Structure 1
Amino acid sequence: MVDTYRNFAELSASEVYGIDYQIAFSYRLSNKTIVAIHGGGIETGISELAMNIAGLSHSCYLFEGLKSSDNGTLHITSTNFDEPNALNMAAESDYCLSLHGYADTTRKHTLIGGADHDVKLQVYNKLIATGFSAELLDENDRISGSDPNNIVNKTKRRMGVQLEISTLQRNSFFGINTRADRKNTQTEEFYRYTQVLKDVFGKLV
């Protein structure tokens, strides 16, 4: 998919804040930040996952599409995403987890990338042990998240973990997968999945 906008400046010059998109973030006394730069209607279910994983323990950043349709026009690829609050939060963190969705309605699956090899291996092992389908992406994969310019790797440690979660897996997290209903219809599978990430990131120092 070719992005409509090359960066946040272009997007904000054409789209209306509060109508087409919104930004929400919260700072916690933590060295970890959970980000969803394609939240809301861009890659559905990602915002809810990020908020639950962060909870009251970790900082959280959301960039959310609010349009009734065509939220894909708000997609800025991770290596070009330069909204200032997101950059600042990543730069102030030791660890960053970036959540994304990819199109696959046939398989519940998670693609694990990012430059933090140790932590992404922990995530992989924990997901598999909990009964989820997952794989570690090769660094040469186009969505591996290993590029230094990817926002998830712009931490103090210059590395992070990126998850790409399939459509079918994200759909399984909600009884009704609509913007209005996702927050009230989260399934047992949703909580098992988010607990994996809470367990891994909660133990990092």
Structure 2
Amino acid sequence: MKKSNSSARDVRSRPALSRRAVLGGLTVAAPLAGAGLLNLASAAPAVAADDAYPSNTALYADPAVTEGVDYARRYRRHALDDQDLATGGGFTRSVILAPHGGGIEVGTSELCLAVAGYHPDGLAPTPPEGPRHDFWMFEGLRSSDNGALHVTATHCDDTLARSLAAASFNALALHGCTAAQTGLGSGVAAVLVGGRDASLKKALLRNFAAAGITAADAADKPDLAGVSPDNIANRTLRGEGAQLEITTELRAAMFEVNTRAGRKKSTTPLFWDFTAATRAALATIEAAQPVL
């Protein structure tokens, strides 16, 4: 959610219509998450009106943007099969989302995989005993200007993302922000916890505190609160979810080599402490939910 720099964007990244023409009728107050880390020049726009695209659908339809070159989408929906006539089987209760992964809000792709239960380097089940969660991510693949691919979470209309969220009891979205946006102080390594799911927020805040990770409720930060029903994290079966806004400094401390190729192979203990705290919060919430 860092303010976009003033350098000119590559012409091929622009949609066919002008930004003013596409977004002129929108009055969205929910801002965006994003931060460039260390070696990356691009940064996500600061407010929805700065997005080049009003939706994922519009981005996918732009002939100047190519999947596999400019961006990628990754997801996993776990297979379920219940043939027991006497009892109901279990189901995947939670989905982990990274709407601005790759080079848009760097570090969120790797966290998405780890929180879902997969090592970011090779996707080995981590920890081996589970549990696994469904996941979805949209990733910027460019060497620069990935912020132009940012679509705010309230405008995320990717079919798989919405389908996974709509089929889940719980959703947790991972975002990046700057320390200045948190109001917690310059250069602070921290996470703001937002979303409409009060129980999951409480569990996350409690587990981050126990892990020694600076965390605060995003409720008094409208730009980061994530309370819109249209937010992809809140499009669950229960109409609520949670989102984490992680500062640049905290994400940077999670990797020894902060590049796309290096991050998945150089995770620090802090990365795994953050992952464990997040997974523990989800486990607490899932344990209290009914068996269907």
Tell me the TM-score range normalised by the shorter chain.
over 0.9
Aligned partner of 1:45 in structure 2 is 107
Aligned-partner Cα distance in 2 for 1:12–1:139? 34
User: How far apart are 1:101 and its partner, in Å?
Assistant: 0.4
1:89 paired residue number: 164
* Aligned residue number for residue 60 of structure 2: 12
- Give the aligned partner of residue 51 of structure 2: 3
Larger Rg: 2
What are the within-5 Å matches in structure 2 for residues 48-127 of structure 1? 48-55=110-117, 56=125, 57-104=132-179, 106-127=187-208
Q: How far 1:129 sits from its partner (Å)? A: 1.6
Say which SS state the counterpart of residue 138 (structure 2) adopts.
strand
**Structure 1 contact 90–155 (Cα < 8 Å) conserved:** yes
Normalized per residue, the structure richer in strand is: 1
Residue 150 of structure 1 and its aligned partner are, at CA, apart by: 0.4
Question: Aligned equivalents of 1:36 and 1:51: distance in 2?
Answer: 9
SS of equivalent to 2:264: helix
The runs of 5 or more residues in structure 1 that have no matched partner are none
Could you tell which deviates more after superposition, 70-79 or 55-64? 55-64
Give the one of 176, 183, 188 matched to 2:257: 176
- Over the residues paired in the alignment, what is the CA RMSD in angstroms? 1.2
Which stretch of the first structure deviates more once superposed, 17-26 or 194-203?
194-203
Equivalent residue, structure 1, for 2:72 = 22
TM-score normalised by L of structure 2: 0.68
Tell me the amino acid that sits aligned with residue 167 of structure 1. Answer: T
Which amino acid in structure 2 is aligned with residue 101 of structure 1?
A: G
Q: C-alpha distance in 1, partners of 2:221/2:277?
A: 26
Find the aligned partners of 1:8 and 1:193 in 2 and give their Cα distance.
Answer: 29
Task: Return the letter of the residue paired with 2:212.
Answer: G
User: What is the alpha-carbon distance in structure 2 between the residues aligned to residue 107 and residue 139 of structure 1?
Assistant: 18
Provide the rounded CA distance (Å) in 1 between the counterparts of 2:73 and 2:57.
14
Query: Gapped runs of 5+ residues in structure 2?
Result: 1-45, 79-90, 118-124, 126-131, 180-185
What are the superposed Cα offsets for residues 13-51 of structure 1, whole Å, 9 maximum, x if unpaired?
221111000101001251100000100000000000010
Shift of 1:10: 1.5
Is the contact between residue 20 and residue 65 of structure 1 (CA under 8 Å) also seen in structure 2?
Answer: yes
Moved more, 42-51 or 139-148: 139-148
Classify the secondary structure of the residue corresponding to 1:180: helix
Q: How far, CA to CA, are the matches of 1:123 and 1:83 in structure 2?
A: 26
One-letter amino acid of the structure 1 residue matched with residue 154 of structure 2: T
Which residue of the partner structure matches residue 188 of structure 1? 269
State the Cα deviation string for residues 45-71 of structure 1 (Å, max 9, x = none). 000001001015100101000011000
Question: What do residues 54-92 of structure 1 show as CA deviations (whole Å, max 9, x unaligned)?
Answer: 015100101000011000011100100101110000000
Q: Distance in 2 between matches of 1:75 and 1:152?
A: 16
Q: Does the 8 Å CA contact 1:139/1:146 hold for their aligned counterparts?
A: no
